[in-house]
Amino acid sequence: MVQSQSSQSLALGSVAVALSVLALKIVAWQLTGAVALYSDAMESFVNVAGALLAWTAIRIADRPADKSHPFGHHKAENLSAIAEGSLIVLAAVLILQEAWGALLSPNLERLGVVGLAVNSLAMVINLVWARVLITAGARRRSPALSANGRHLMTDVWTSVGVLAGLCLVLLTGWALLDPLMAVLVAVNILREGWKVIFSSAGDLMDSAAHASDREVIETSVRDSCHGALQVHDLRTRRAGKVLFIEFHLVVDAGMTVGEAHGICDTIEAAIAAHLSEARTTIHVEPDDMLEQSGLAPEAGTGRDHG
């Protein structure tokens, strides 16, 4: 519960940060009239919507399982990430529309150092918060926090490119660079939006555990299944920050139910020690169900048939 409350606090903090950054970027845009800064502000507008979506999704995902959702509400985070990715794509389309008008009649008579300084402050705030979200999202295995953090990092690189381009405009007087920079920003945003949508859609279709997690699972099983003969048909699927794991555990046909249950408890505890959000289901079978391939204890009575 402490971790879920912390995730909700981070998501709520993202809303406050996104609103502050959006306000700064709107001021910068109004001071300069630069369409590139308009594009930067539009991305921050999406950040506000994305932060609200992430906060709502995390609250829903933390709800306990019920009769209608016996496996929990974890995929709410994946839905949130897909919605945010869609908003990113929409923002890119709006930026391209604005850039087209500026390409036809470029005008940057109001461009100055003050507006660029305000936008730079917004960029620094985004950079600090993005690192916080990416780190927390990885630690908590939260798609909503991770998607929000990755989007903020895209916003940071967008701001870097925009500021560099506008500084070049100040030095050269080439106003056409402003809408061209906005077009580059839009293309970059489209790329990030596609990545966010594609990654989260995979989890909605029950994608398997990442290779690193699969290795952790197999090592944990091998090190803790002493007394069993083999583990086979290991399958995994991701849902939000939760990883569902299931496999068949082959034991000696003469083993008591209590002894087999004890082995299962040991395996589940070993996996949970490395993957706290894992949900493990084990099907116990007698020794005549041994398969040609599978996992066996690292140094026990079984034999690794793989």
Flag whether the pTM goes above 0.85.
no
Single out the residue of 116, 139, 129 nearest to residue 50, CA to CA. 129
In this prediction, residue 47 carries a pLDDT of 75
In this prediction, residue 265 carries a pLDDT of 95
For a pLDDT cut of 70, what percent of the chain falls above it? 92
Kindly report, residue by residue over 228-275, the tens digit of the pLDDT: 999 999 999 888 778 899 999 999 999 999 999 999 999 999 999 999
Count other Cβ atoms within 10 Å, centred on residue 125.
Answer: 17
pLDDT, greater one: 280 or 197: 280
The yes-or-no verdict on residue 301 having pLDDT over 50 is no
Confidence of residue 223 (pLDDT cuts 50, 70, 90): very high
Close Cβ partners of 129 (under 8 Å, ≥ 6 residues apart)? 13, 14, 17, 152
Given a contact cutoff of 8 angstroms between Cβ atoms, the answer to whether 55 and 14 are in contact is: yes
Lowest mean pLDDT among 27-31, 64-68, 165-169, 204-208: 204-208
Single out the residue of 61, 218, 54 nearest to residue 129, CA to CA. 54
Please state, in angstroms and rounded to a whole number, the distance separating the CA atoms of residues 72 and 126.
Answer: 32
Kindly report, residue by residue over 126-142, the tens digit of the pLDDT: 899 989 988 888 777 77
In this prediction, residue 300 carries a pLDDT of 45
Please state, in angstroms and rounded to a whole number, the distance separating the CA atoms of residues 88 and 77.
Answer: 17
In this prediction, residue 242 carries a pLDDT of 85
